Amino acid sequence: MNDKEIEELIQAEVRRQREGLEMIPSENHTSKDVLAALGSRLTDKYSEGYPGMRYYGGCEIVDKVENLARDRAKALFGVSHVNVQPYSGSPANMAVYFALADPGDTVMGLELFYGGHMTHGLKVNFSGKWFNSVQYRTGRDGYLDYDGMAELVKEHKPKLIFVGATAYPRIIDWQRLREIADLCGAFLVADISHIAGLVVAGAHPSPVGIADVVTTTTHKTLRGPRGAIIMCNGNPSNPLKKADRTRENLPTLIDRAIIPGLQGGPHNHQTAAIAVALREASTPEFKEYGHQIVRNARHLADRLMERGYDLVTSGTDNHLLLIDLTNKNMRGADAEKALGLAGITVNKNTVPFDTRPPFDPSGIRLGTPALTTRGMKETEMDQIADWIDKAISAHGSDAKLTEIRGAVKEFVKAFPLPGEDN
């Protein structure tokens, strides 16, 4: 690369990832094949529209790329229609609102501070500013309050309900949510961005066939590039024509929302990289990987609870842990900083009914997808739990944190990033 400044920064980031423990649960390490597709000449091609219906010439190759990505997603998730063009998760969710609701309509989602996502109705987000957003919460125990949600649905009768989470450590009961949505005839949208890889591995129940629409990013547990897909069932027709808001017309409504509704040309290099990741996710090795993520998370949760850490819901069923540090007299931001200095990357996070503000919360969120990608298993979780505890206890002592960082750096040499040799 001739741009030495950028090259040096890229290499610095590679070293940071290689020499530390990436434990933010929304992050992962992609394969060399995914990276190769993402850095390909496909980025040069403009292709507004859909395969066979483009506004530009010369799209015969990228048509095949997009069709391959769509077909792989259909087979992997068991749906009849997929749109692979959303630039990322938030635009994908925006497209669902665009397709199924009008500004001012009542919508519902899990409140951000209780584990939801900002596009599920946060008041400062488009989803909370353009729509009448009603937010549901977890109970005091950290579990989703399905009964409370049902009462809100009966009272407010939303047109659209988003379900799914960014900081929820338990299995989601899709069928119960379907029953709740049916109380008022609402469209049910499952955002499985965090757990998509677990779903295809059979390590978490799938919402397909229960929710009306399923959205997901492709870069978390699915281990692909940054991007998103929208999935549904129904009969697609020409997305350039208007369609009534019925479940039968969901494919057309979704496609029309992406283009001409919200986006221009898709990122063809991103589409190709998604296709590669979907192929990888269809293998027996990936299914084992998904189950190992959960085994690692549960093991790590047990080891931390043995050391006196207060985990929301007292454990986990998926890939992440949410830790309330109140009993440790520690702020989430301080823990994030201490762990970072020790070579362990996590993020500060609110916990249910947090008494502290969002930018200075009581908890941290951490997970096992990236560690599992590098080949770590339960034995390694024992050591990592010990380092986490020591780093948090050593907050304020740069010498002790530097010592831990050195041990982490030596430890990870046995677990190279994908495509790297030991």
For the four alpha carbons of 199, 201, 204 and 209, in that order, the dihedral sign comes to positive
Side chain identity, residue 111: E
Q: 184-205: b or e for each residue (b if 16 or more CB lie within 10 Å)?
A: bebbbbbbbbbbbbbbbbebbe
Structure tokens of 418? 């994908």
Selecting among 27, 33, 48, 173, the annotated active-site residue is 48
Selecting among 66, 111, 145, 191, the annotated active-site residue is 191
The answer to whether 228 and 88 are in contact (CB under 8 A) is yes
Query: Is 283 annotated as catalytic?
Result: no
Selecting among 176, 226, 295, 409, the annotated active-site residue is 226
Query: Is 191 annotated as catalytic?
Result: yes
Q: How far apart are CA 275 and CA 70, in angstroms?
A: 8
User: How far is C-alpha 212 from the chain's CA centre?
Assistant: 19
Selecting among 70, 220, 348, 374, the annotated active-site residue is 220
Structure tokens of 302? 């047990």
Query: Is 87 annotated as catalytic?
Result: no
Selecting among 30, 138, 166, 217, the annotated active-site residue is 217
β-strands 53-54, 21-22 pairing: unpaired
Selecting among 18, 27, 33, 46, the annotated active-site residue is 46
Q: How many C-beta atoms lie closer than 10 Å to residue 282's C-beta? A: 14
Query: Is 111 annotated as catalytic?
Result: no
Expressed in angstroms, the distance from the first to the final Cα of the chain is 25
Q: Cis before residue 225, ω within 30 degrees of 0?
A: no
Q: Which residue has the tokens 């900002």?
A: 118
Burial class (CB in 10 A: 0-12, 13-18, 19+), 167: buried
Side chain identity, residue 191: D
Residue 311, classed as helix, strand or coil, is strand
Structure tokens of 133? 């957003």
Burial class (CB in 10 A: 0-12, 13-18, 19+), 170: middle
**CA gyration radius for the chain?**
22
Positions marked catalytic: 46, 48, 191, 217, 220, 226
